[in-house]
Amino acid sequence: MLPTETDNELADPTLDRVHDAVSTGGVVDPVALLRASRVAPDGYRVAVAVRTARGRWTNGRRPPSDGRPGVDRATRPVSVAAGGGEVIWGRLTVWVWR
């Protein structure tokens, strides 16, 4: 394992759980991001952001600044419901820290 991979031990599974919690039929609903806090690992805080060409949504928690020690981060491309039945490309990112 590369050192960078062990960093994501917490963030990768959290990303999967967040994705399950905020998506329907594989499509992320930005309004549902508030639910993401429920799937945080015990004793940890989770910030979630979805970024698209139309804008950025969060679960209301500001992510810690990049490079801060003790912060795990993971990201994946997702499809996002943009209203009016449109589904657009986006990127879901989670940060996990104590």
Partner 1 sequence: MNVAIDAAICLLLLSAAVVGLATIDRSPAATDGSADAVADALATTTAAVNYSLAPGVREMRASASAADLAPEIALDSPELDRTARGSLAGLLARGAVAGSGVDLDGETTDLSSLTRSRAGFTAGVRDTVRARTGASVRIDATWRPYPGAPVGGHLGVGPKPSSDRVHAATLTIPTGIEPLPPSTADGFDRLGTAVAQRTVNLLVPPGPARLALRGDDPAAALVRHRYARLAAATNASVSAPLTTEDTAAANARIARRLAPRMSADLRSEYDSPTQAAEAVSVSSVRIVVRTWGDTGGDR
Q: Which residue ranges make up the site for partner 1 (CB under 8 A)?
A: 4, 12, 16, 25-27, 49, 51, 73-80, 86-89, 91, 93
Beta bridge partners of 55: 52
Alpha-carbon distance of 72 to 16, in angstroms, equals 14
CB of 6 to partner 1, least distance (A): 13
Alpha-carbon distance of 53 to 86, in angstroms, equals 13
CB of 49 to partner 1, least distance (A): 7
CB of 8 to partner 1, least distance (A): 9
Of 34 and 88, nearer to partner 1 (C-beta) is 88
Of 43 and 77, nearer to partner 1 (C-beta) is 77
Of 60 and 89, nearer to partner 1 (C-beta) is 89
Compute the C-alpha angle 44/89/11, nearest 5°: 20
Neighbours of 20 (CB within 10 A): 10
